[in-house]
Structure 1
């Protein structure tokens, strides 16, 4: 595995195979709620909501669920707060956790407990943030008639730093400041975008043997399964065989 890019693809495959659709929808609904509270219920006037809707559709969330979430959030829906936690998994793997919660005490207790249970340590803000760069990551379904070379040049023109073709999908990376331009370019090309988000990409990575790798994965998966956790980023490097063990 090279950096976070291949990891996100593997996690997408894993999520498609297991029975965690409900948890995925819960996280998407929270993002819709925060977006509505922040910028209103009109997606045309609220870029964050427009993006949240796009990502929900990419995960096959039914239209009526999306509309219900927007309507509820525009009324008396729960007031969520966004916060982050930083720390280390075993063997020096940096972990950055993004949360959305309506109960700060519950969330910090849960995150601290998971770090402790799986041999990690929760740190202070800034302890691992410097090890990550914010990048725009777009996952796009390939079309059979696509000219890969021409397509790649089009995306570079739109601000892409990297274009990776993986089986049925294309993963595009952009600088954080080019995120909006990249969205516009993909709209212009009329491409079906499954997810579009700003991610934290590690600048350095840590490689482990199989036993150590499995121990770190237990913490990462446990954090990812927590209802208050939206995203988990890390700098764990993995071999091809270790990636295969996740599918």
Structure 2
């Protein structure tokens, strides 16, 4: 009986997490469609949002509904970004979509206080990150030299492979062109995103890592906060 209860609790928690993720994905789709229009090919932000939503199994029906309802539902939403210094000089970037910036910063200040961190000046943290495109694919019977030849005209930063497939790291400029090239060549894209990668990693103590984990959990549970990146060493 206890084991059954544990499994049920884990299932419920996973459902809650999925619901929270889908809610944030839907918000991003609405705002992206409102700002840049509903045409995915002419709106890179919307295309990225839809790709990410599909990777998290948000239904196409829900995606279409959020795009079509963007003018009504995303009227007062604004993008805000906060840069934070945490313990041991940890750099953190928090991105939010909100209709009330006072509420957002008030909640965030509470999380920062428990983190024992402080808000930083714009670009003082972000300068230590660089944006890359990340694409994961199946092998598609391609050897690594064939893959390099296929992508040689694009701004490829790194290429890694294992028994499951390829990981491609590229410039943001080449991200969508590489995705299109791979799809036309028969590759199955299992994951893709534009992300900020830290240029320098910070080691945290066990206690600092625990405090930071609580900060991340608070951000994940905040409806206004879309994503968080940091330069903590994960190992």
The secondary structure found in structure 1 opposite 2:131 is: strand
Q: Please point out which of 47, 51, 59 is paired with 1:50.
A: 47
Q: Please point out which of 193, 200, 203 is paired with 2:199.
A: 203
Q: Structure 1 residue 17: deviation in Å? A: 6.4
1:41-65 residue CA offsets vs partner (Å, 9 max, x unmatched): 2324333322322221111111111
Segments of structure 2 that go 5 or more residues without pairing to the other structure are 1-12
Query: How many aligned residue pairs are there?
Result: 223
Query: Could you tell me the TM-score, scaled by structure 1's length?
Result: 0.79
The secondary structure found in structure 1 opposite 2:83 is: strand
Partner of 1:79: 76
> Is 1:59 paired with 2:94?
no
Q: Structure 1 residue 19: deviation in Å? A: 4.5
The secondary structure found in structure 2 opposite 1:215 is: helix
Partner of 1:26: 23
Q: Please point out which of 122, 134, 137 is paired with 1:137.
A: 134
Cα pair distance change 1:192/1:100, threshold 3 Å = farther
Distance 1:22 1:169 in 2: 29
Considering Cα pairs closer than 8 Å and 6+ residues apart, tell me whether 1 or 2 has the greater RCO. Answer: 1
Segments of structure 1 that go 5 or more residues without pairing to the other structure are 1-15, 240-247
Distance 1:160 1:213 in 2: 33
Distance 2:14 2:139 in 1: 23
Cα pair distance change 1:123/1:166, threshold 3 Å = farther
Cα pair distance change 1:232/1:76, threshold 3 Å = closer
Contact kept in structure 2, 1:158 and 1:185, CA below 8 Å: no
How large is the Cα RMSD of the aligned pairs?
Answer: 2.5
Query: Could you tell me the TM-score, scaled by structure 2's length?
Result: 0.82
Distance 1:169 1:216 in 2: 32
Q: Please point out which of 216, 230, 233 is paired with 1:234.
A: 230
Q: Please point out which of 144, 159, 167 is paired with 1:171.
A: 167
